[in-house]
Amino acid sequence: MALQTAVLAKNDAVAAQNRGWFRGRGVLALNLVSSPGAGKTSLLERTIRDFGVEIDIAVIEGDQMTTNDADRIRAAGARAIQINTGSGCHLEADMVASALDALALRAGSLLLIENVGNLVCPAMFDLGERMKVAVISVTEGEDKPLKYPHMFRAASVVVVNKVDLAPHVDFDQAAFLANIKAVNPSVQIIMTSARTGEGMENWRAFLKQEMVKQAQT
């Protein structure tokens, strides 16, 4: 317990520095968390293609191995830095701090941090982001928020992705939304399909709103 406390304290100190860095430049940093296969990268690709002409978007990609996701992000039209954590199950604040030097973010940019696919460890580690955004797909089942309550409590927004598949997987939307609200009554929920574009206008409206707020802080 003492070691964990020390690790988190060190991480939180760097996270506070990152947060000050973002605030000083008006950069909106969002930490996207999910289980593997929820569609985080597809959501980012669609965001870049639909929204990247309006604002400067950069991405930090976290995975245990490969540069596959960073390659996809660059192909979509945004700058990306790949962080491979090896056996690590989450990104940490010092990893983000190191990536910022290479990204050379401009004032007023949007930084999307795609964390390692895991709904446990990333809930504990502050990266300096404005907020955590949990991404979950309709294929994962209605009880996922109840199984991983710490992550859904830590998130300010839940993006429910792959809604186009809902009719094919017997998805109970009412039960799912009730489970999210049972864990985190104040969370904002956005329903999307990165594949078809359904609901993406609500996601973009959210990003625009948060960028205005960040610029005013």
Counting every residue written for the chain, the total comes to: 217
Give the CATH number for residue 68: 3.40.50.300
Give the domain range for residue 107.
2-216
Using a CB cutoff of 8 Å and minimum separation of 24, what contacts does 212-215 make?
A: 214/22, 214/23, 214/26, 214/27, 214/28, 214/130, 215/26, 215/108
For the stretch 54-67, pLDDT in tens is 899 999 999 999 99
How far apart CA 98 and CA 100 sit, in angstroms, is 5
Total domains in the fold of the chain: 1
For the stretch 106-151, pLDDT in tens is 999 999 999 999 999 999 999 999 999 999 999 999 999 999 999 9
> Would you state the pLDDT for residue 15?
98
Q: Is pLDDT at 46 greater than 60 in this prediction?
A: yes
